[in-house]
Amino acid sequence: MNRALKVVNGILLALFALAVVGAAMGGGLGGALPASIWLVVPFLTMRAADQPSGSLYGWAFGLNVFGLFCFAASTVALFLNTGLHAKAAAIALLVALFAAPFAWNLYALRKVKAEDENYEPSTWEAAQSAQSVEAPASRNYFIRHWRGELSLPISYWVNGSLLGLGLGLLFLLMAELAKDWELRTTAFVMLGLMSLLILVTIWSTVGILRSANQHASRGGSAGWAIAAQVVTCLSALSFVARVGTQLGPQMGEFASIAFNYDSLKRVNATLSADGTILTLQGTIGTGSYEYVHQVLGAAPEVRTIVLDSQGGRIREAEQLAEMVRDRGLDTYVEGQCASACTYLFLAGKDRAATPNAKIGFHRPSFAGTSDYQAGLTKMLAYYRTAGISEPFLDRIRNTKSEQMWYPSRDELIDNGVLTRVSLGGEAAMLAAKFGSRSELEQAYRSLPLMQAMDRRFPGTVDQAIDAAWAQYQSGARDGDISAAARRILSDIYPQLLATADDAGLEAFLNLSIRQLSAASELGADACGLFLDSKLDVTKVFAPELIEEEMQWSLSQLAASPVPRATVSAGQFQQALLPVAEALDPSILDVVAAPEQFADEPHRRCTSTLAFYEAVASQPATARAILLRGMFQSGDE
């Protein structure tokens, strides 16, 4: 048995050594630290095989119990946390296989000790129960407590209260040290500490109860013994409830992180063609920092981080934020940046977002905690250092972790979250989405609007795709790619308006007024881009306004062309007289020749809006003549 014990633990030692090397290669010394601790177990077990009567035996036996518990608990936690999916089951099986050697070691160590002392020991269960023959006294402190041989004051106050206090301080110390560790390293350590806490609690509770049973026979007070038993039992019940509601879920979460089965996947990073923009998409799961750190290390020209994430692990986000801050990078959002993603966004030197971008905040959360107060305090302190106002922090404090608060654009600006509002197109996210022209074409042709355009105006969509792909190949940003396609597609609107019925023209006029008003609120530049068909309205207009334009376009593309009587110059001028009288002549000058005022977007915008509103205020008959005349084909 001695020889077999050494062979098995030699193999186990080699496996753990390989794990240490792998961890060191993957995560440096921080990753190798938790794995290297397990080298002690097979080493001490082999030493104890030669000295089964020495003090090493107790340490080896206890460490194997600890190892068996850790790996068995991790297996159960993985199943509870992930379910019996194929990958989860494979990982759980691997963890369970590591538990087997520890179980065998416990059996082999007892056999070796029995052979050495030339007697057959009683079973584990019999050794724990009070039988007719009292177990021989042990010099091992841990065994003496377990058997109840220590005095009640020592068992209760030292091995119960004082040891519990010590473990609490150890948790606090590790939490402080773990601030600079990688997430997986922290998960390994916390999983070990929680396993140790459960084992020590079981050891301490059993020892106190057994010592209390023997307290009166040793001359102690029966009342103190009963009091100790009552308090210990109540504490044990409280601890069991804590394991079920807090420690168990937390161990499951730590196990999934430690064994690389985090439910939150690693973020995806895509570099722009010119190497100046790095786009981060998806959840910020375990390993995100290490991955992005490597990508940025090979891309020294990056100046902007584009974020599109619903959040993830705060520890990973904190480390990424520090990296963004150290490199002085800008941050930018067009889609969504919520929860832990806001750590990265607020680390940006210049923090920009489009009006339709969703930047969300809420209280932090972690498995097994209904009120993660420590995490909230830390989060608010970080936001405070970023210059966020206290009223804004109060709103975050009052937003539950299962909810999400998306502040308005003005709230983001007024409270220091945004340094500026972008009109969109600054990202390079299309590079991550389309790898070939066929993929770009497939995406365009899948849209209902593109399909309707292709049916009504064959070849138009092909031209738009060609224009967009040419910009894409040149390494242009998203705004330039979209604008190239939009310029082709906007040319069909005069043809649609030239054959639309009166109801269609009325709807277009009202839509144009609302869109011009919305663009004006964004500023003169936005309004000028809108008039030139260069503004990506999906990034800046309200969803209902975008949907209204979509429905108008689809309805007009599907409708049959309406033959209309030509509006003569005389009819048009007669209908225009009331409009001209109501407006300043300079407004009509701009409307008549907008190309002459290309450098004055504010004037063009206000003049066009005023003209459209004046037309809309005319009687129905005059309004119909004006709209037909404005939008009839050029040869009429």
Residue 176 has a pLDDT of 74
Residue 587 has a pLDDT of 92
Per-residue pLDDT tens for 77-96? 666 654 445 455 555 565 66
For 125-134, 145-154, 313-322, 327-336, which range has the lowest pLDDT when averaged over its residues? 125-134
Q: What is the mean predicted confidence (pLDDT) over 4-20?
A: 78
545 pLDDT above the threshold of 70: yes
Structure tokens at 135: 């177990």
DSSP state of 304: E
DSSP reduced 3-state for 335 = strand
Structure tokens at 291: 């991955």
Closest CA to 486 of 457, 504, 464, 505: 464
Calculated CA dihedral for residues 335, 337, 338, 342, nearest 10 degrees: -160
Give 182's pLDDT tier (boundaries 50, 70, 90). confident
Q: Which helix (H) or strand (E) holds 226?
A: helix 222-242
Give 205's pLDDT tier (boundaries 50, 70, 90). very high
Domain 268-421 matching CATH 3.90.226.10: the answer reads yes
Residue 417 has a pLDDT of 93
Most confident of 236-250, 261-275, 569-583, 621-635: 569-583
CA distance 387 to 384: 5
Per-residue pLDDT tens for 370-386? 667 778 888 999 999 88
342 pLDDT above the threshold of 90: yes
Q: What is the mean predicted confidence (pLDDT) over 416-439?
A: 82
Q: 456 or 487: which carries more pLDDT confidence?
A: 456
- pTM of the full structure: 0.67
- For residues 321 and 327, the answer to whether their CB atoms sit within 8 Å is no
224 pLDDT above the threshold of 50: yes
What is the three-state SS of 121-158? CCCHHHHHCCCCCCCCCCCCHHHHHHHCCCCHHHHHHH
Q: 483 or 400: which carries more pLDDT confidence?
A: 400
Residue 368 has a pLDDT of 63
Domain map of the chain by residue range?
A: 2-171+194-243, 268-421, 435-490, 492-636
Residue 267 has a pLDDT of 93
The residues that bridge with 352 in the sheet, in sequence order, are: 332, 420
Count Cβ neighbours within 10 Å for each residue of 573-604 and write b for 16 or more, e otherwise.
Answer: eebbebbeeebeeebbebbeebeebeeebebb
